[in-house]
Structure 1
Amino acid sequence: MTRRDVALPHAYRLLNHGPTVLVSAAHAGRANVMAAAWAMPLDFDPPKVTVVIDKSSFTRRLIEASGSFALSVPCRALADATYAAGSLSGAGHADKLAACGLRSFAAQRIAAPLIEGCIAWLECRVIDGPHERHHQQAYDLFVAEVLAAQTDERVFAAGRWKPDAPAELRTLHHQAGGAFFVAGETVQARPPSA
């Protein structure tokens, strides 16, 4: 084995293996979507998530105004649309979803649209306290409680991702510059011996 140093500006790529998500928000008759590679679960009960959303994004303005957002988990079939959602500005498009080739449907608990063709959807309410506002401003980090969640039963059932999901329905994991890898096989570890 040979170890190599990694340039520090690329160090985040060593941990950036979670699925890419589409973050959507709506306020005052305007909806938008963006791609985010930095999202993760934070807590179980109540369920919480975190996502990094840059100050310059139009989606962030909608989130700050509405106090909510949705995370839709795209799959391989949506790679091009996901890359477009991460590349185009919502401020410059009257309908960014259409510009990216995406369609949406209504959420159960929030105004933000959920993205069709994805394999999982989480409806989130921003947690708004002094510590959370500090993290939003200092680190672009939003903490939210999950109010509702849905999944496509072809890929997730009984609390687990299915290892035999069709290839086009596997999650996308952004590397950089529009390159993604797709989740593959499941590996079951043996329990430790006592």
Structure 2
Amino acid sequence: MPVSTVEPVELAKAYRLLNHGPTVLVSSAHGARRNVMAAAWCMPLDFDPPKLLVVIDKSTFTRELIDASGEFAINVPTQAQRALTVAVGSDSGRDRDKFAALDISTFTGDTVAAPLIAGCVAWLECRVVPENHIQSQYDLFIGEVVAARADSRVFSAGRWHFSPEHDALRTLHHVAGGAFFVTGPMTDGDGD
């Protein structure tokens, strides 16, 4: 991914990075340990400050790292990263570093320690908003988005704009059993 295409996203428009319902990769880190997992249940929650919701099962290593660090990152993978998305969603990182085992390239974010995954089209750095009841009862985490960026080839001026020349950058949408849809053609609408 050309570094020149990664641009900051205004926090007031960060919700638009998730509003179309993509499958995401949740990355986390604490101390010398790090992990990444796939999650199909992630959505925007609020605008100011921007917040999102993500389900992270209590049995996962990602959850252990998030509980310890109080932060995580949401990475929005592409159609070209389908195999990677399935791989990180099918295996635990508790006994091995998935980043090393799967040769996942990362870069450092602005605010949180969780690694950001190269090749994705959007990244949201989040701090956990403590809500112990919903975390323990429903495995539901609220994250306050403290930094956001996107690949300007497909997201700029606060909008997604997938085009045929960037088909490999279309986002994934899990529909069950390892099957995915990808983002389709845009239909312009009125409004902001």
1:126-163 Cα shifts (integer Å, max 9, x gaps): 001xxx11000000000010000000000001000003
Q: Structure 1 unaligned runs (5+)? A: 1-16
Which TM-score applies when normalising by structure 2?
0.85
Counterpart of 1:126, as a letter, is V
Q: Structure 2 unaligned runs (5+)? A: 1-19
**How far apart in 2 are the matches of 1:179 and 1:138?**
28
Question: Matched residue pairs, number?
Answer: 171
Residue matched to 2:112: 110
Q: Check whether the contact 2:73–2:115 (CA below 8 A) recurs between aligned residues.
A: yes
Percent of aligned pairs sharing the same letter: 61
In structure 2, do the counterparts of structure 1 residues 66 and 162 end up closer, same or farther at CA, with 3 Å as the change threshold? same
**How far apart in 2 are the matches of 1:106 and 1:134?**
31
Residue matched to 1:91: 94
SS in 1 for 2:87: helix
Q: CA deviation at 1:90?
A: 0.8
Which TM-score applies when normalising by structure 1?
0.85
Q: Quick one: higher RCO (CA 8 Å, sep 6+), 1 or 2?
A: 2
Q: CA deviation at 1:186?
A: 1.0
**How far apart in 1 are the matches of 2:114 and 2:190?**
42
SS in 1 for 2:94: helix
Runs of 4+, deviation exceeding 4 Å = none
Q: CA deviation at 1:100?
A: 3.1
Residue matched to 1:169: 169
**RMSD over equivalenced CA pairs, Å:** 1.4
Residue matched to 1:19: 22
Q: CA deviation at 1:179?
A: 1.2
Counterpart of 2:48, as a letter, is D
**How far apart in 2 are the matches of 1:115 and 1:25?**
11
**How far apart in 1 are the matches of 2:98 and 2:85?**
12
Q: CA deviation at 1:101?
A: 3.6
Counterpart of 2:186, as a letter, is T
Counterpart of 1:28, as a letter, is G
SS in 2 for 1:97: helix
Q: Check whether the contact 1:81–1:101 (CA below 8 A) recurs between aligned residues.
A: no
- Alignment map for 1:38-53 (pairs within 5 Å): 38-53=41-56
Q: CA deviation at 1:189?
A: 4.2
- Alignment map for 1:53-132 (pairs within 5 Å): 53-93=56-96, 95-128=97-130, 132=131
SS in 1 for 2:82: helix
Counterpart of 2:146, as a letter, is L
